Structure 1
């Protein structure tokens, strides 16, 4: 399995190099003049772009593995399906953890979604979206993508549409039940989104293990 993880990380080597370079610049950013609006804005913009583009690491890794029929080749390799599954999960979680460290280290506290005081912080959304790829993008196996939801659609769905709908629901509940649209504000729903993503990712993992054993 270790060799599979190394292979997967090699496929994402340029992402890792970019993350590493940005982290190396962190001490200079910390010591820099906080009044340098242009410099700080560039850094924050870059990290926010990364938070969006890399919120579907599993999709981007899959693109390097081949098209949707590539699973026939990968399943013919002298490794077990369990090893392929574990390597896929570990790789995505490692890349996600590295990206989350990047967001956290630069103190990106802004929320991608802010509706009536109900927010979804960038870091929790980033982690959640990556975890949810397991059950939405790759429900059957890590080498076969759900082609009904492309990467752009997935990112829009998980980072913007679903959080926005949740905000509307909470505001509506506040208005109807408590006669106060700000009843749930201020509230960072991103943490609960993250907890839900963990549960669903675990369910997806156990389901795929069961499917492998059953076969």
Structure 2
């Protein structure tokens, strides 16, 4: 067992209110008082890592050092075996519109299309195996840290199906199912997701269950 969290304040290294709410809800039964890095006015560090682990640690360490409190950060994305693990840590970047692609922001349908186009370019028999990764990094102000990795295996489908997910969910069919993440009810998706896997490992290590 790694160093354990107490029941005090825990900084969630995000400026996204939705992500804070989601993580706080997951940890609510275990006692931490979750506050966001955004609410503390902490800057967002550049995510210069080449892996999910590196990026999650960058965010967690920066928040812990700046706040003087333990901090939790996550990094997640989609990896496609036939594309040598891409988009990987650049999952969100593939959805960012370029100057010639319209208003700034993320277009996930465009991102899904980029993945599909690359796969089709490899031929009709190309394997569609893929996986979602979620890495949770927990860091303390003195530099100690621990990492929890979750994964959900599956295959890509086309065209996109379902309206209940986000990101690449409409093209991801989880292992053992015949529907996409975006066709599953949120409660059912969260029970088998990469994030659920990572949080189960964190809870087991930090809170004993």
Normalising by structure 2, report the TM-score: 0.29
Highest CA radius of gyration, 1 or 2? Answer: 1
Decide which structure has greater strand share: 2
Decide which structure has greater helix share: 1
